[in-house]
Structure 1
Amino acid sequence: MDKFVEENEVFEKYSIIKREQYADFLTNFLNQQAENGYVLNLNAEWGAGKTTFLKCWYNKLKANHPVVYFDAWKTDFTHDAMTALMDSFHAQLANPISGNKALIRDFYEKGMHFIKVAVPSLAVGYLKHKSGMPDDESLLQDITDTFGINVTEDSCSDALKETLKAALEQRKKVEGINEFKTALEKIAGEYIKVTNKNFPIYIFIDELDRCRPNYAIEVIENVKHFFNTKNFVFVIATDTKQLQHSIKAIYGYEFDSNLYLSRFFNQSVTLPQPKLIEFIQSKYQFKLDTSFPTDKNIIDDTLIAKLISKIFKYHNINSLREIDKILISLDSCGKSADKKLNILSLLTLLILRNFHPKIYNEFKYQKLIPYR
């Protein structure tokens, strides 16, 4: 088993969904766009199969390309997207080149300045001169050299010193972005050389839908500002409408979240949905209700699948994950029953119980008709 993605997650396992061809199309497209770095937004509603698609695509790509899989939900508790991203890059890219400690050290040193948890002493260490001056003296000298203000003079207030320290920190951060990207590119080049794989390096970011709004936004912002560099392709899977709501929750409901996201993604594509009727047919093995005509020329499994799909659409249920749960329950009832069931009635009750519990209880206990 792969440490990050299960090896049995392959497109052949989900043949009815028929998404392998789409993955091949995206691979060919992204390979041509990667020279200067590329960020692709893979859009689909929650439960539409984004995770399954990414994992299958990961296992197909990894023979020829380095691939990093980042589960944002698993790191949401850390409250620091930069640290989580750096750790994933280290675990999945730097480990094969662990003998080159200088590269790995450089990667962390260049990224340390952007980590929230970096304590002030670490920030000062980042600014130290190679001359070996004491930390405070080194920092004060940096401020004098940068701004032309001697903060050791008695006339320089503590407030001004703190302001100049903050300004220097900000300037170092801006200058450090390119240094961090250079360190990242060096690790990528060494990885390619050691593993004999090909550029680009693919980074799959998954499960943003489940994260706190501010953490999801932070992940995307960090990708764009710090990690988006040449020969790196990011595929960020999102329910884009939900993400836009998250952005509005942070920045205000009058905020143009669509325009905001367009700054971070080079392109957005929508994961194609499988044909619902075929998906339903692949999932159920029901006994036909005795009230149905048994003549196959009049009614067959395809017609039943069409009726079931219409019921799902009527109730505005589009998530494959939720549809699958209902079908599993329906199939279990059908297999455990001693007699044939009216599957359409049972399906309706399952939908009401799962998605409209109040209406379901009114029907069950008060005999109120759900549909009027």
Structure 2
Amino acid sequence: MKTLRSIEKEINPKNPFEDCKLDREKYADNLTRIIENYPSGFVMALNNRWGDGKTFFVNRWRAKLKEKEGFQVVYYNAWEDDYSENALVSIISEITEDIENNDKKLLDIVLEKGTGLFVKSLPVLLKIAVKKLAGKDGYEDLATLIGEEMGKPFQSLIDEYKNQKKTVEGFREALKAFAEKAGNGKPIIIFIDELDRCKPSYAVEVLEIIKHLFSVDNIVFVLSVDKEQLANSIKGYYGSDQIDGTEYLKRFIDLEFSLPKPQLGKFVEATFEALHFNEHFITFRNQYGQTVDEKPQLLNFTTTFAQNKNLKLRATKQLLSKLRTVLYSFHKNDYTIPNILLILIYLQSTEIEVFEKIKKKEISIEELLKINKELLFSGNSPKKSKIPNAFNRHELILYSLYSNYLNEHFVIDLTDVKNKENFQSRFEKVSIDFESLYNYLSNQGNFVFETEYMIDYLIEKIELSETLKFNN
């Protein structure tokens, strides 16, 4: 099914990492061993940029922790809940939902001790505490009682401080007892995802809660964040560039780990699957009965291109996301030419002047082929000789699309190839690799290469899709 959103696949509890194409299960296993060796509790930051696969990794790691390793696991998406008036209420709510076979008596004590910490957040608190302590029928009486207490004046700031300190100590003691019993000899692991995307005030509140209320034995926090973004949020919260957000975070984070950059080819393949490219290629083959499988060609082409341009993983994913959107704008019977689309989308995104010159017919075929080669083979990519057939086919299609756009109808058939000298004369004005092209076409058997399509056919699709803004 075509979708504009990245839909999380159902995870196989027996083998949570079976669909991980980046070989990251080994990192999860290493982190699990660290948690087992430090059960007294700590805060770990999983620090990677957006688009590096943190959430994908975390979802499979916590599934393995729960299903295969026997840990009690809590998951809290902070960004989805940053509208909440009190982060403590939200975190405790997730604990009550996710911890299995919890001791109700100990949990009730945690809730009772915690009440004094967040009486100012009654509407949210009561949804949790009333169900656990008073039952549904006691809602109105309890709300009235606490409301009356809030209206009483404080006797002194000192009394307030002492009472608050006792409340915190009582809450931590109750939480420690609950974690020891509920964890069954293992620490409870609380994952907090997307904290860096929260409102600065909420992000700071969550960090302070973790530090001052949840620093007890048998509770481990894993913060899945972009640490640089989170540091910027902290600066924004305090309203000063004098605040060093990175140093501030050291108060809260005991251990930091970053997922290593994956092999580019594996990353591209995983992105293809995440963006549902398979649906396009299946439809394409069904409609045209192609003997050439477009998917591996596009995989290799994208990898070569991204490597040559030294694109970051995030930029590569964004480029493929745009390509996916453009491909889905075609009808099932349309010819799509994804390799050429990828080049044009890149030019339109990063080298708009070149894109506009192509659109206005202001560059020659010779210049276009030169630009094409520079995009693919001028920098860090493998030599062209390693992918001759794919490149020759790509270059031939690009040549024909632009020739037709310049009103030069382009046809090659078997007769042309048999007469090598005449065939070569057709390309004498351009820097196309004639020998490679000739050898490629000579091995294709009976064929006629002809297309009525022009490059503006693809340009129009790209510009139409550009009017839509997708945040993938």
Take 2:319 and 2:338, find their aligned partners in 1: how far apart are those partners? Answer: 18
Deviation at 1:190, TM superposition (A): 3.1
Q: In structure 2, how many angstroms separate the alpha carbons of the residues matched to 1:235 and 1:273?
A: 20
Contact 2:319 2:346 in 1 (8 A): no
Which amino acid counterpart does residue 108 of structure 1 have in structure 2? L
Residue of structure 1 equivalent to 2:83: 77
Of 231, 243, 249, which residue of structure 1 is paired with 2:236?
249
Q: How much is the aligned-residue C-alpha RMSD, in angstroms? A: 4.0
Q: Does structure 1 retain, via aligned residues, the 8 Å contact 2:180–2:218? A: no
How many positions carry a matched residue from both structures?
310
Note the C-alpha offset of 1:364.
8.9
CA distance in 2, matches of 1:302, 1:334: 20
Aligned to 2:163: 172
Q: Kindly provide the amino acid, as one letter, of the partner of residue 278 in structure 1.
A: K
- SS of equivalent to 2:39: helix
Aligned to 1:304: 301
Change (3 A) 1:350 1:34: farther
Deviation, structure 1 residue 40: 0.3
CA distance in 2, matches of 1:341, 1:60: 41
Q: Give the match for residue 294 of structure 1.
A: none
Kindly indicate whether structure 1 or structure 2 has the higher relative contact order, using CA contacts under 8 Å at least 6 residues apart: 1
Change (3 A) 1:317 1:348: farther
Shift in Å, 1:260: 0.7
- Give me the whole-angstrom Cα distance separating, in 2, the residues matched to 1:334 and 1:13: 33
What does residue 147 of structure 1 align with? Answer: none
Q: Is the 8 A contact 2:42 2:254 kept in 1?
A: yes
User: In the alignment, residue 307 of structure 2 is paired with which amino acid?
Assistant: K
Could you tell me whether the CA contact under 8 Å between 2:76 and 2:91 is conserved in 1?
yes
Q: Supply the distance in 2 between the matched residues of 1:278 and 1:323 (Cα, whole angstroms).
A: 16
The Cα of 1:54 is off from its aligned counterpart by 0.8
Matching residue of 1:263: 251
- Displacement of 1:340 after TM fit? 6.8
Letter in 1 for 2:337: L
2:31 to 21, 26, 32: 26
Match of 1:57 in 2: 61
Is 1:40 the equivalent of 2:27? no
The question of whether the paired residues in 2 share the 8 Å contact of 1:65 and 1:198 is answered with: no
CA–CA distance in 1 between the matches of 2:350 and 2:302? 22
SS of equivalent residue, structure 1 residue 318: helix
Counterpart selection for 1:278 from 235, 255, 266:
266
Distance 1:163 1:107, change over 3 A: closer
Q: 2:314: which partner in 1?
A: 318
> In structure 1, what is the equivalent of residue 98 of structure 2?
92
**By how many angstroms is 1:26 displaced?**
0.4
Residue 172 of structure 2: SS of its match in structure 1?
helix
Deviations 1:220-242 (A, max 9, x none): 11111111211111100110011
Q: Cα offset for 1:207?
A: 1.6
Closer, same or farther: CA 367–247 of 1 in aligned 2, 3 Å: farther
Q: Return the letter of the residue paired with 2:176.
A: E
AA aligned opposite 2:318: E
Instruction: Report % sequence identity.
Output: 30
Cα distance, 1:331 vs. partner?
6.4
1:49 deviates by 1.2
Q: Does 1:346 align with 2:338?
A: no
TM-score normalised according to structure 1 size: 0.70
The change in CA–CA distance for 1:118 and 1:340 in structure 2 (over 3 A counts) is: closer
8 Å Cα contact 1:49-1:321 kept in structure 2? no
Indicate yes or no: 2:189 matched with 1:183: no
Tell me the residue number matched to 1:200.
Answer: 187
More displaced 10-residue stretch of structure 1: 334-343 or 253-262: 334-343
Match of 1:221, SS? helix
| SS in structure 2 at match of 1:86 | helix
2:221 to 226, 234, 241: 234
Equivalent position amino acid for 1:176 in 2? T
2:437 paired residue number: none
Shift of residue 319, structure 1, vs aligned partner: 6.0
> Deviations 1:312-346 (Å, cap 9, x if unpaired)?
634x5526753552464476589957557261x41
CA–CA separation in structure 2 for the residues paired with 1:261 and 1:80: 21
Contact 1:47–1:320 (CA<8 Å) still a contact in 2? no
Rounded to whole Å, the distance in 2 between the matches of 1:332 and 1:190 is 53
One-letter identity of the residue aligned with 1:62: K
Name which of structure 1's ranges 359-368 and 171-180 shifts more when overlaid on structure 2: 359-368
Question: Residues 266-305 of structure 1: CA distance to partner in whole angstroms, max 9, x if unpaired?
Answer: 0111122321222224526779xxxxxxxxxxx9777524
Confirm or deny: 8 A CA contact 1:312 1:318 kept in the other structure.
Answer: no
Secondary structure of 2:63's counterpart equals: helix
Counterparts of 2:208 and 2:357, CA distance in 1:
48
What residue number does 2:435 align with?
none
Distance 1:363 1:169 in 2: 72
Q: 1:329 to 1:245 in 2, by over 3 A?
A: same
Listed as ranges, the gaps of 5+ residues in structure 1 are 123-134, 140-160, 288-298
Between the aligned partners of 2:91 and 2:236, the Cα distance in structure 1 is 24
In 2, are the aligned partners of 1:181 and 1:227 still within 8 Å (CA)? yes
By how many angstroms is 1:104 displaced?
A: 2.5
SS of 1:59's partner is helix
Kept in 2: contact 1:277–1:309 (CA 8 A): no
The 1:324/1:165 distance shift into structure 2, 3 A limit, reads farther
Other-structure match for 1:104: 107
1:131-142 aligned within 5 A: none
